[in-house]
Structure 1
């Protein structure tokens, strides 16, 4: 057997056949593979690979099966940091504190950046830069649409995702600040005329069906509710038909601004839903651009080039009247 292997190796050398070298891995770790938003990031990553086929680097996309698996994401980060071919990493932390602790324990020697969601401010030194949405601004714009529609205030419920996700917490703060005209309110108790109803905010763990069910329950318990601020588009892109079924009876009220739904993201069925008049406004991110840009930013970090912190990817705003032109191409 040994002799056969030697003969094969000798033949390969004689033919000048050199085994392909494994590429250096630019790793993107997302919150969960079950979310269409993160699949758009993957598409950007793969687009970069197709345009850089001869590069020594490769964009490698991974994450836990479910966005609710915070421990699974932390384990993947730890495992990928232990691989010799991982030369840089971009992380979208589902639980900012848990990922920060993982990085502190691992003490990585490679460049680390955050993508889509950041670490908490006190842990920002653990990464070189953040690439993605200005989440506070996104939440502020969600709030602005609500305030414009109902300037005198009312009763509201915020629909959020993972309670430990820094990006969602920043959006919620932006929304509250826009509604109150002040900064820093952790709960709306009449500031600016707005009051959060009992049971809100609702945390859905990025699950669309849970989001629709939560909205159903809140509406049933609060028939005088005036608005939903949906800080991630999970109910709309994760459960589009149940969302339509729930909101369709409110269509006339939405059209007259008697009831307001302002939501994040512009993926999946969301823009179509806006065109149907079943949401007041969408404030969308650019996940494809995040996935496409991340490898280049990681290479710059590896090579010691200056990289801005943060690197924002912009927003798209959609209403029923702008659906044909609201998404940046």
Structure 2
């Protein structure tokens, strides 16, 4: 049994958890939102949306997550939420047997669990709320085709190689440009969803592939790092840059024409919809396993469009 001590994973002790959370009596439910990285700007926007919906339905909301992206720590928080006997769990999906095991245990204990931002369709999660990540990548690729001309050598900076949402954003992009011979993938680097990581990945890509003419970043801070490095390189023409998400700094770069486009997803809406979906499930209404939120492309001149 999972209790105030430890978790059993296939009969083995794996990590310590404590359980002392209690649902305040004046709330209808106690939900937990578990992020990929607790202070990441993108996930803070998801939290704000979840808070707004929680206030509407008189739900007590906890927001947890590792200080830096780490799957094992994230699994620990899921374990803690189950042990705390919360009423519902919202978490980024993880592609692992341990995650699938925890989702199964959560559901068996009567705690509905849904994935947010990143899906884990091989698990028994009750719903996914977030962008269609493959479509997001495809839109980025189509934008690269429409807004560039001539030979393009593309460097891709992705958040995490092992994250399924990042993999789908890369795959969608590659599939979109696969039949366009003038657009070629020069290389791919990993940022670990940090700006400093994106700076390092961009620098390495440019060092190893000096003929790069365009960049595509697949996580929220990648465009910031790409733009910073690109501005320091002495080139006749800066590379064409497609970023991801609509953080204020990203929009500033877009308006100053330091980047050319960004894939817009809506983390506030994502958090809001996640709470609404979990609330419906608790009421016995199942809205469907795939709850896609809006995804489009934003440019300085044209704004956002599907």
Of 4, 18, 35, 1:30 maps to 35
Residues 38/250 of structure 1: CA separation in 2 closer, same or farther (3 Å cut): farther
Q: Does the 8 A contact of 2:32 with 2:64 survive in 1? A: yes
Shift of 1:314: 0.2
1:247 to 2:231 alignment: yes
Identify, as 1 or 2, the structure richer in strand: 2
1:87 to 2:76 alignment: no
Gaps of 5+ in 2: 1-23
Q: How does 1:132-143 map to 2 (within 5 A)?
A: 132-143=130-141
Partner secondary structure for residue 253 of structure 1: coil
2:205 is matched with 218
Q: Measure the CA separation in 1 of the matches of 2:264 and 2:295.
A: 5
Shift of 1:219: 1.3
Identify, as 1 or 2, the structure richer in helix: 1
Partner secondary structure for residue 231 of structure 2: helix
Partner secondary structure for residue 269 of structure 1: helix
Of 124, 128, 131, 1:130 maps to 128
Question: How high is the TM-score relative to the length of structure 2?
Answer: 0.83
1:7 is matched with none
1:271 to 2:251 alignment: yes
Q: How does 1:51-90 map to 2 (within 5 A)?
A: 51-52=56-57, 55=58, 57-67=59-69, 69-84=70-85, 86-90=86-90
Of 285, 288, 299, 1:308 maps to 288
Q: Measure the CA separation in 1 of the matches of 2:305 and 2:183.
A: 31
Segments of 4+ in structure 1 off by > 4 A? 104-108, 248-252
Q: Does the 8 A contact of 1:244 with 1:273 survive in 2? A: no
Shift of 1:101: 4.0
1:118 is matched with 119
2:25 is matched with 21
Cα root mean square deviation, aligned: 2.5
Q: How does 1:278-289 map to 2 (within 5 A)?
A: 278-289=258-269
Gaps of 5+ in 1: 1-19, 182-190
Post-superposition CA distance 1:243-291 (Å, at most 9, x none): 436336579735xxxx321121111300110111111211111000111
Q: Does the 8 A contact of 1:91 with 1:113 survive in 2? A: yes
Q: Measure the CA separation in 1 of the matches of 2:111 and 2:235.
A: 51
Q: Does the 8 A contact of 1:248 with 1:278 survive in 2? A: no
Q: Measure the CA separation in 2 of the matches of 1:251 and 1:101.
A: 51
Number of paired residues?
280
1:96 is matched with 95
Residues 253/161 of structure 1: CA separation in 2 closer, same or farther (3 Å cut): same
Question: How high is the TM-score relative to the length of structure 1?
Answer: 0.77
